């Protein structure tokens, strides 16, 4: 049976409906809990799909003894890319994918009122603009602007030879593909309201650093409505990506 191998880094950052969409496509779902000591697979079997989820750690933490799995994930991603096997990276997963493909990952920045570049954490519900929905199979059936959830402080340069699929004014590289087999999404669409509430509560310091003292409560207050609004487009986007990767793997 073909499988979706899902690498999870934190209890609160599970695959959400990505797992459901994989099962609907006949994939067995194997969630690898790296945060609980599970080992990073050495390689993918033929026909498998790799999904790398988000987390509070980053590429800058690869040498950190607290996260021994990060370096092994990068090794796996490099092997997967070399073999052109299917892989989807979400948030941290997209950053690791970009790093494995040879790109720089670094803190996102914006100029302040004086034009000085300052770190800029993009947190909360917002939108991205999709690029190429008239010809990109992964964007078929989607409007030009879609609602998403942002939760990151880092960004990345596009890997050489990749195609940008989404952007916004805060972060230019919101989504990309490498060939037809590797996709990275800097944003989240897979979450439900319960997950978002957990993020706002458990990651409250990060939220306050981006949105101020009332940031966590404001996200919690809007999460039910916002998650409903992003669900349809989110499922279509992830479904399109899975269908494109699986067609390539046939």
Catalytic residues: 91, 188, 190
User: CA–CA separation, 70 vs 134, rounded Å?
Assistant: 36
96: buried, middle or exposed (CB in 10 Å: 19+, 13-18, 0-12)?
buried
The answer to whether the beta carbons of residues 9 and 34 sit under 8 Å apart is: yes
User: CA–CA separation, 151 vs 34, rounded Å?
Assistant: 20
How is residue 198 written in tokens?
């957990």
CA dist list (Å): 49 to 10, 173, 235, 244, 248? 20, 23, 17, 11, 11
User: CA–CA separation, 39 vs 69, rounded Å?
Assistant: 7
Distance of CA 249 to the CA centre of its chain: 21
Which one, of 171, 164, 82, lies nearest residue 122 by Cα?
A: 171
140: buried, middle or exposed (CB in 10 Å: 19+, 13-18, 0-12)?
middle
Helix 204-211 to helix 215-249 angle, to the nearest 10 degrees? Answer: 110
């Amino acid at each position: 049976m073909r499988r979706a191998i899902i690498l999870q880094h934190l209890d609160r950052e599970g695959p959400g409906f990505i797992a459901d969409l994989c099962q609907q496509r006949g994939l067995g779902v194997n969630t690898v809990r790296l945060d609980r000591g599970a080992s990073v697979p050495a390689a993918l079997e033929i026909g498998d799909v790799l999904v790398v989820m988000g987390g509070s750690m980053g590429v800058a933490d690869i040498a950190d003894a607290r996260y021994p799995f990060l370096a092994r994930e990068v090794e796996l991603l490099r092997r997967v890319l070399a073999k052109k096997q299917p892989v989807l990276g979400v948030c941290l997963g997209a950053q690791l994918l970009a790093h494995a493909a040879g790109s720089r990952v670094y803190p996102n920045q914006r100029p302040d009122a004086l034009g000085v570049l300052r770190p800029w954490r993009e947190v909360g519900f917002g939108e991205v603009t999709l690029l190429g929905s008239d010809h990109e199979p992964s964007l078929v059936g989607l409007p030009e602007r879609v609602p998403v959830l942002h939760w990151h402080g880092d960004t990345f340069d596009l890997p050489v030879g990749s195609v940008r699929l989404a952007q916004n004014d805060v972060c230019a590289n919101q989504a990309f593909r490498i060939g037809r087999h590797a996709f990275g999404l800097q944003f989240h669409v897979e979450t439900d309201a319960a997950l978002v509430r957990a993020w706002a509560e458990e990651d409250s310091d990060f939220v306050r650093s981006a949105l101020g003292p009332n940031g966590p409560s404001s996200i919690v207050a809007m999460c039910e409505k916002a998650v409903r609004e992003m669900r349809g487009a989110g499922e279509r986007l992830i479904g399109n990506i899975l269908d494109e990767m699986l067609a390539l793997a046939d």
